[in-house]
Amino acid sequence: MAVSLSEPRKEIIPPILRDGFRVFFPLTALYAIVALAAWILILTGHVLPPLALDPLSWHIHEMLFGTIGAAVAGFLLTAVPNWTGVPGPRGVRLAALAGLWLAGRIAVTFGAAMPAWVVGVLDLSFLVALGAVVGRAIVVSGNRRNLPVIALVVAYAGANLLYHLGWPDLGMRLGLMTVVLLIALIGGRVVPGFTGNWIKRAGQAVGPRPFGHPDRVALALTLAGGLAYLARPEHPGTGAVVLTAGLAHAIRQIGWRGHRTLGEPLVWVLHLGYLWLSAGVILLGLSILWPAVPSAVALHALTAGAMATMILAIMTRATLGHSGRDLKAGPATTAIYILVTLAALSRLGAGWEPVLLHPSALAWGLAFAIYLAVYLPICLKPRAV
């Protein structure tokens, strides 16, 4: 039968542009490798790109808003459609979002000759667009439970804005605390949720403790500690609140029964990532109260430890689950989790022994390179039936 000329043509979308995770998770892994390699070359004096920021600010900014920004986008563009029932961007719209992210990376890395406002607009446009997409889906669906996610995306974009307004230290602290709160909020759902599913399938009787008072206390203390860290980062009172928040997270996690999940890496790595969050917040409080704990150690416990581990945990699990594959970690995936843990531990040790920087960078690069080797082909293929 001949097709009518008036019949609308069906849009042909390649697999990689059908879901947010297919684009942004590989970009996260690739940029994690590239940005760290560039930082090492800058540190050793081998290269000096025409950066729009000073080198240290560039390194912090690109890890916090480049690598982590792509991971946040991949997660939200995958999770929010499930939460709300509102389809996420795909095809040209998804490619445009990825283009905005890439434009920001180019502007911040090679924009020394650009007017500062141009660099800022190019870089901020991605988070503004992401916030608009996520915010619209949550609002139009009436999904009130996830309204705090909108506030966190706005705060995250505001932190990036502070960088471009000339307040990089404040921007770093706000960005860091925003991601910590995002992990605490979303992690508090997915970690016990996935743990409960696994324990049930394993036929065990006692599952994670339901959401309750310990969770509310940990979240409230994290918010209070984060606000204090923004306002008075060196005040002993801030250190006390932040330290208490970290201990509250550790207590919160005990009720999730993580020790029962050691048979499945896809589950125990989530507990490991959250344990890094507790440790990082505790170390941050200690670094304020006790100068013997370098602040860089605390910050890298949160970034190289909690954030990198959670990113790889979510990227591997979501890529398998949303592509129709079995939720089972093979040897390569387990190696990813071991390598990112070694990278984080080495980076913390480098706070006292700088010679550990290079082993840390190597383990970090290998972890994300294995993700690309194993999971990029999955992102390029249609969903398994």
In this structure, are 73 and 197 located in the same domain? no
| C-alpha pair distances (Å), 58 with each of 37, 322, 354 | 13, 33, 20
- Is residue 328 a contact partner of residue 374, using CB atoms and an 8 Å limit? no
Q: How far apart are CA 327 and CA 322, in angstroms?
A: 10
In this structure, are 202 and 90 located in the same domain? no
In this structure, are 223 and 367 located in the same domain? yes
Q: How far apart are CA 146 and CA 83, in angstroms?
A: 8
Which one, of 7, 12, 62, lies nearest residue 39 by Cα?
Answer: 62
- Is residue 275 a contact partner of residue 253, using CB atoms and an 8 Å limit? yes
Q: How far apart are CA 67 and CA 370, in angstroms?
A: 16
CB neighbour list of residue 224: distance below 8 Å, 6 or more residues apart = 241, 245
DSSP line for 65-113: IIIHHHHHHHHHHHHHHHHH-PPPP-THHHHHHHHHHHHHHHHHHH-TT
**Domain housing 279:** 184-385
In this structure, are 199 and 322 located in the same domain? yes
Say whether 196 sits in a helix, a strand or coil: helix
- Is residue 298 a contact partner of residue 284, using CB atoms and an 8 Å limit? yes
Confidence at residue 260, expressed as pLDDT on a 0 to 100 scale: 86
- CA dihedral sign, ordered 364, 370, 372, 376: negative
Confidence at residue 206, expressed as pLDDT on a 0 to 100 scale: 75
The answer as to whether 338 is a domain residue is yes
Interior angle at CA 45, CA 43 and CA 49, nearest 5? 85
Structure tokens at 201: 């399938």
Domain count, the chain: 2
In this structure, are 162 and 249 located in the same domain? no
Helix ranges (DSSP H) in 206-264: 213-231, 236-254
Residue 257 CB: number of other CB atoms within 10 A? 19
Confidence at residue 207, expressed as pLDDT on a 0 to 100 scale: 77
Confidence at residue 7, expressed as pLDDT on a 0 to 100 scale: 46
Confidence at residue 201, expressed as pLDDT on a 0 to 100 scale: 84
- Is residue 80 a contact partner of residue 146, using CB atoms and an 8 Å limit? yes
The answer as to whether 231 is a domain residue is yes
The answer as to whether 345 is a domain residue is yes
The answer as to whether 326 is a domain residue is yes
In this structure, are 191 and 326 located in the same domain? yes
Confidence at residue 11, expressed as pLDDT on a 0 to 100 scale: 63
Span 67-89, pLDDT tens digits = 999 999 999 999 999 999 999 99
Structure tokens at 181: 């709160």
In this structure, are 190 and 218 located in the same domain? yes
The answer as to whether 213 is a domain residue is yes
Confidence at residue 2, expressed as pLDDT on a 0 to 100 scale: 45
pLDDT in tens, the chain (385 residues): 444 444 445 568 999 999 999 999 999 999 999 999 999 999 999 999 999 999 999 999 999 999 999 999 999 999 999 999 999 999 999 999 999 999 999 999 999 999 999 999 999 999 999 999 999 999 999 988 899 999 999 999 999 999 999 999 999 999 999 999 999 999 999 999 999 988 888 777 677 888 999 999 999 999 999 999 999 999 999 999 999 999 999 999 999 988 888 889 999 999 999 999 999 999 999 999 998 999 999 999 999 999 999 999 999 999 999 999 999 999 999 999 999 999 999 999 998 899 999 999 999 999 999 999 999 999 999 998 7
Residue 134 host element (H or E): helix 116-140
Span 131-182, pLDDT tens digits = 999 999 999 999 888 999 999 999 999 999 999 999 999 999 999 999 999 9
In this structure, are 250 and 291 located in the same domain? yes
The answer as to whether 65 is a domain residue is yes
The pTM assigned to this predicted structure is 0.94
- Is residue 276 a contact partner of residue 298, using CB atoms and an 8 Å limit? no
In this structure, are 248 and 289 located in the same domain? yes
The answer as to whether 311 is a domain residue is yes
Confidence at residue 3, expressed as pLDDT on a 0 to 100 scale: 44
In this structure, are 238 and 370 located in the same domain? yes
Final residue in a domain of this structure, among 166, 196, 228: 166
Q: What is the mean pLDDT of the chain?
A: 94
In this structure, are 265 and 334 located in the same domain? yes
- CA dihedral sign, ordered 154, 137, 267, 37: negative
